[in-house]
Amino acid sequence: MSKLKHLAIILDGNRRWAKEKGLPVFKGHGAGYERIKDVCRWCIKRDIEILTVYAFSTENWNRSKEEVKYLMILLNKAFSDDIEELNNLGIKVNIIGSRDKISPTIKKNIEKIEEKTKNNKKIVLNICFNYGGRLEIIEAVKDIIMEGTKPEEVSEELISNHIWFKGQPDPDLVIRTSGEQRLSGFLTWTSVYSELYFPRCYWPDFDEKELDKTIAEFEKRNRRFGGD
């Protein structure tokens, strides 16, 4: 039986959740944000060591100005107002992604939350913010070229040591809520041998029971890594 240590989630369905309830879009994003903290607590109880969430992709900048503005406010709240709550829960927070297009205030708060929580041991929370899987690989390749690496020296290990997720184990399981069955640029390098699972519920409706269903599904899988 496989043990789930690193769970990665594409937080999909916030807008549809709000629409079906007759609520404005920002209410769906707000509910989805609160659910991240809930899932952290549930993962801690189940000894899951790492939770990685796809909070804002590089493509999300193409949404309406009003929606992007609200998402920036919401994420900045996570990186500032909630720092003590996350720290008290024992959560180590990493913000994974490009720093381009991000305001100086948000950059400063990212640095503060990462510094404040860096020694916490209960769980690692990776928040993928302004993240794209292809961009992650492009930036790794740029760094490798800048170091003067010879072509024959390039290897999977070398690239793995230059991506934004360097030093962390690959995710065991990637799930996308809402029933959509694609990864949309999430963890393009590190998810190659991850199990995939697509629950139909919207992200704000992903509850503790659904997490247990997810874990049970993963534990039934016979994981293969190409050589089996």
Q: What would the two tokens of residue 26 be?
A: 């920002």
- Residue pair 203/13 in contact (Cβ under 8 Å)? The answer is yes
- Which residues are catalytically annotated? 12, 60
| Beta bridge mates, 92 | 124
DSSP 131: E
Q: What is the 3-state secondary structure (H, E, C) of 143-207?
A: HHHHCCCCHHHCCHHHHHCCCCCCCCCCCCEEEECCCCCCCCCCCCCCCCCCEEECCCCCHHHCC
